[in-house]
Amino acid sequence: MSIYQEIILEHYRHPKNYGEIKNPTKKIKLTNPLCGDRIEMMIKLVDNIIVEIKFQGQGCAISQAASSLLTDYAKGKSKEKLKKLDREFMIKLLGIDLGPNRIKCALLPLEALKKLLI
């Protein structure tokens, strides 16, 4: 098992930023209809900076680990910086090769974050 696979399993078993924010600035729920992954993401913004971000949901190890890693990365970052994140960023963040079906799992939290930043 590679170090990246171990990191993904660790984030899946012990996700960071899992839970709810009381009185979030925005929140969104998304589902990946192909596999059934579900995510609810919420943020608290102050001066266009994410001061708090959390997620809840159910899904495969990839979607849950991607949510954990992305929310950890996003804390303290500006909306403008986060709007520039893309598919390649998420693949690099996860550090593993993903097939076409799994890439959708990895991109679900990024889609949620981008919709929250509109």
Q: Can you give the pTM of this predicted structure?
A: 0.95
Residue 48: CA count within 13 A, CB half-sphere? 7
* Segments forming the whole domain that contains residue 108: 3-116
Q: Write the CATH number for 82.
A: 3.90.1010.10
Q: What percent of the chain has pLDDT over 70?
A: 100
Model confidence over 29-86: pLDDT tens digits? 999 988 899 999 999 999 999 999 999 999 999 999 999 999 999 999 999 999 999 9
CB 67 within 8 A of CB 44: no
Q: What is the pLDDT of residue 3?
A: 81
Model confidence band, residue 100 (pLDDT cutoffs 50, 70, 90): confident
> What is the total count of domains within the chain?
1
